[in-house]
Amino acid sequence: MEKHYFQPEIETMSQEEIRKIQSEKLVKQVKHVWDNVPCYRAKMEEKGVTPDDIKSIDDLHKLPFITKDDLRDQYPYGFLAVPQSECVRIQSTSGTTGRRVVAFYTQDDVNIWDECCARAIVAAGGTKDDVVHVSYGYGLFTGGPGLNGGSHMLGSLTLPMSSGNTDRQLQFMTDLGSTILCCTPSYAAYLGESARDRGILDQIKLKAGIFGAEAWTEEMRHEIEELLGIKAYDIYGLTEISGPGVSFECEEQRGMHINEDHFAAEIINPETGEVLPEGEKGELVFTCLDKAAFPLLRYRTRDITVLTREKCSCGRTHVRMRKPMGRSDDMLIVKGVNVFPSQIETVLLNNNYAPQYQIIVDRINHSDTIEVHVEMTEEMYADKSVSKESRERKLQAALKSMLGILVDVVLLAPKSIVRSEGKAVRIVDKRNLYKS
Ligand code: DLL
């Protein structure tokens, strides 16, 4: 099978070459940050580190971490490392859990980001002949602008749809023959459902999807692939580090290659900060090696994953990260038990429910309660031979066996959960545990 790369000379270079590039870039980057970001310089001084101590990528562990709280404390300009007049763009996080984080970009930073997204599109089989349908939100969210930039750089016909207006999405998709869909996995499932309901699935020419920005399971991947008749590729990224394209899946669909010439990755123990060896599960930490405006060093993502340097059949040599297995901060602790929403999703899909659900956690009389609201499929809803109560009991038992705790299950009629056009709202935690 012929292999396709956007930049073969970079994507297939040897480990030695990657480390050499990382070392050269890191030495320069640390000087740049030391000279231009007083709050990080203070952190380095506190740790007794100077730029002279950083001679290669092997010295990365000597540098202090940056956390989301640091970014919030320094909002908005504290981590800006170039004069504002050199910046051409900002993007921002949604700020649902506190103050927004604003990331700045020079034109070169935007080019790096576009290049990363172009690599992702090519890895999903994209060429300049494709019609790339971008249904991630545009604006402050990085999803739309990121994939849009990558598609332009590749020279594909780019449809800047943004999210929402499902009728228009489907009309453009069929009229213009979109071949690659980029959006959140939950919106892809919704678009698929809507196309099926309108009886137009056979008019859709999609061959691939590039889905990310939220956690999704293998079961959900299969469901979307089957519904839309496509291959569904995962893509990962975060605003602080640039946006989508920090890592992406290739045709192997077994982990996402990190663009290591731009971002150095480490896995740490989230409790102690100690760097863990390859193959161990822990918190992912990124260092931006060549971004100028917002060059975060050792940024703690809170995403829990595993890195592997096992050979990939696609020929890419860049390290792979497993699909994030949860976040060290939004993992739910219910009745003292750690609950990852992805475990619940796996049970629901294995039991043939639709990937439309909400987890509602509350605390009543000092005791945690957890309810899973999930939609029945049309077939289940129509089939009156099995009672709703009996279905609920069966699902409750399956969840108990996965999670070890009793969960209240509420089955709903099809289409009763409000659809999201961006990231799905999966968790409603009414306990306010993190408010002081
Ligand atoms: O979600 C950037 C993005 C846009 C990625 C489009 C992929 C596609 P933020 O809004 O800053 O940025 O959210 C970043 O989302 O730390 C992860 O917890 C989560 N996340 C992103 N991609 C994935 C993924 C964008 N593929 C946060 N799987 C990250 C699971 C993901 N979680």
Q: 57: CA distance to ligand 1 center in Å?
A: 26
- The answer to whether 308 touches 279, Cβ cutoff 8 Å, is yes
For a mutational test of ligand 1's pocket, the pick from 99, 134, 214, 345, i.e. the residue with the most ligand atoms closer than 8 A to its C-beta, is 214
Cβ-based neighbour number of residue 69 at 10 Å: 11
pLDDT, tens digit (0-9, with 9 covering 90-100), for 374-395: 999 999 999 999 999 999 999 9
342 alpha carbon to ligand 1 midpoint, in Å? Answer: 15
> Ligand 1 pocket, 305 CB below 6 A?
no
pLDDT above 90: percentage of residues in the chain: 82
pLDDT of residue 320: 98
Pick the atom of ligand 1 nearest to 210's CA: 8
Name the amino acid, one letter, at 169.
Q
Locate the ligand 1 atom nearest the alpha carbon of residue 330 and give its number. Answer: 18
Render pLDDT for 276-303 as a digit per residue (tens, 0 to 9).
999 999 999 999 999 999 999 999 999 9
142 lines ligand 1 (CB under 6 A): yes
Average pLDDT over residues 108-121: 98
Q: Is there a contact between 91 and 105 (Cβ–Cβ < 8 Å)?
A: yes
Task: Tell me the DSSP string of 26-67.
Answer: HHHHHHHHHHH-HHHHHHHHHTT--GGG--SGGGGGGSPPB-
Q: Please, what is the average pLDDT of the chain?
A: 93
Q: Rounded CA gap, 338 and 323, in Å?
A: 19
> Is the distance from the beta carbon of residue 60 to the nearest atom of ligand 1 less than 6 Å?
no
Instruction: Give the three-class secondary structure for 333.
Output: strand
The CA distances from residue 225 to 172, 185, 220, 255, 435, in Å, are 20, 11, 8, 17, 40
pLDDT of residue 4: 92
Distance CA(38)–CA(77), nearest Å, equals 11
Using alpha carbons, select from 287, 325, 288 the residue that is nearest to residue 306. Answer: 325
Residue nearest to ligand 1 atom 27, measured at CA: 238
Shortest-distance atom of ligand 1 to CA 141: 10
* Cis before 76? omega within 30: yes
Rounded to the nearest angstrom, the distance between the alpha carbon of 364 and the centre of ligand 1 is 32
